Amino acid sequence: MSDHQSFRPALSRRGLLKGLGAGVLLAGAGYGAAHADTEIGGCDALVIGAGFAGITAARELRARGLNPRILEARSRIGGRTWTDTFAGVPVEMGGEAVDEKQPNVWREVQRYGIPLGTTLPAERLYMPQEFGVYDALPAAEVGPRLSQLFTPFFSGSQDMFPRPYEPLYRSDLVVPADSKSFRTRLDELGLTTAERLWVSGSFSGLAGGDSSRGAYTMLMQSWALSGHNFQGYLSVNTYHPTNGTQALLRAMLADARADVRFNSPVVSIEQTSSRVRVTTRGGQVYTAPVVVLAVPVNVWRNISFSPGLPAAYPQISTQGIGAPNVQKLWLLIEDDQGQFATQPPEGTVLGAVRPHTRTPEGLVMFGFGYDPNINFNDRAIVEQHLRRVVPNVRVKAVKTHNWATDPYALGGWSVRRPGQLAGPFPQVQQPRGRITFAGSDLANGWSGYIDGAIESGATAARQAAAVVGTPALAGVR
């Protein structure tokens, strides 16, 4: 598809559903062969990115009487969510979890009547012991022990995050704690070697393979959002849309009635006192009174802004919020092992693996890899590493997506680094002139989840609508 190919949802939602580098942030760049006489206007707002944040923003702008156009770098909608197929069943190559504790996505699920399913429960877990040995233990035995080990990590969460959707409400407690990493907090607990082996993999996996990278306050907030208890925290990843995240996205997009231009990666954004000019890699120039930038924070560094953005924006994009080194794997396992899961410790090449669906061909499982030097698309390599935990397991097929090398993601789910919440994070949530910012990375609540993307997209739409109604904008020349 070319930059010009677009998707215009029908007005009928039912009919649609039946159819199925940091320096560039500081200084603007030239536009090459693009000229004013080739500019494409005709919309009230440009939304850059067709993930949940961008599509939410477009729908909310439409609801406010504005006509949105979406520019999407890929040939599909979804961003860091992506419904595909593997072993004859629909699978998610990115995020998929929704939960009743997540008010934004739960409201959308109810609004559009999206059916939900659950993943298969693990009957036993392979838990690490010393000297590289693993014990296969009944899930009923592992759960209570993990609760005992996890809960002390989050001691004080009710004081630190009494209003978890206002992460800096208790800034007197949050700011001093924000310099701590997951690993720093684990060190404080004085766990035995055996205890640390059981829990370290969960924390390092969330941070993209390195527990020193994730901010302690990020997990404390997640715990608070989950109800300040282990069962609530654990259950957040239970439900997913039965027909894939695409079903919900398409329903929302139908209500947005937006013109979507696929294969249109944005390379530069220039704003004046009255409009914004957006240039794609193919040389097309789009204009609108306001822009909602709904791409991952990690990607900002590859877009040129004129005027340049304040230092907080390149700082946080260079540091990154999306977890590095994340590769999501789907595995088809010979179904002679039962419904098992693995919980390897930090430093293991292949992270946790969980059961998802049983098929006539075998057990479909998903997991994560964090070593950029490993080819997780190689079935034999995946089997080799999994056999270090589960002897004699047979991997029949694999399917992988490397989110770290994906040019339009440059990382996986959101996980703030130490110092970001108390530092640049609140600043980069704010509009700059005629540009507003959206994405799960920027959510006040469920950052790293679909819910956070929807929250942030709605906020950015409100900000954009206010910009359109503002005749003079401070800071834009």
Residue 72 in marked binding region:
yes
Token pair belonging to 61 = 């702008």
Across-strand partners of 286? Answer: 40, 278
Across-strand partners of 341? Answer: 125
β 435-437/291-293 pair status: parallel
How many CB atoms neighbour CB 148 within 10 A? 11
N-to-C CA span, the chain = 36
Token pair belonging to 471 = 């005749």
Residue 130 in marked binding region:
no
Measured in degrees and rounded to the nearest 5, phi and psi for residue 226 equal -85, 0
CA distance 149 to 61: 46
Which uninterrupted H or E stretch holds 92?
strand 89-92
Are 465 and 66 in contact by the 8 Å Cβ rule? The answer is yes
> Is the peptide bond between 115 and the residue preceding it cis, with omega within 30 degrees of 0?
no
Which uninterrupted H or E stretch holds 134?
strand 134-138
In the block, tokens 């998929």 appear at 96
CA distance 249 to 108: 10
CA distance 77 to 253: 9
**Residue 27, Ramachandran bin (φ over 0: left; ψ between -120 and 50: alpha; else beta):** beta
Are 347 and 354 in contact by the 8 Å Cβ rule? The answer is no
Residue 73 in marked binding region:
yes
The three-class DSSP label of residue 144 is helix
Across-strand partners of 359? Answer: 362
Residues placed in the known binding site: 72-73, 266
Residues placed in the known binding site for FAD: 72-73, 266
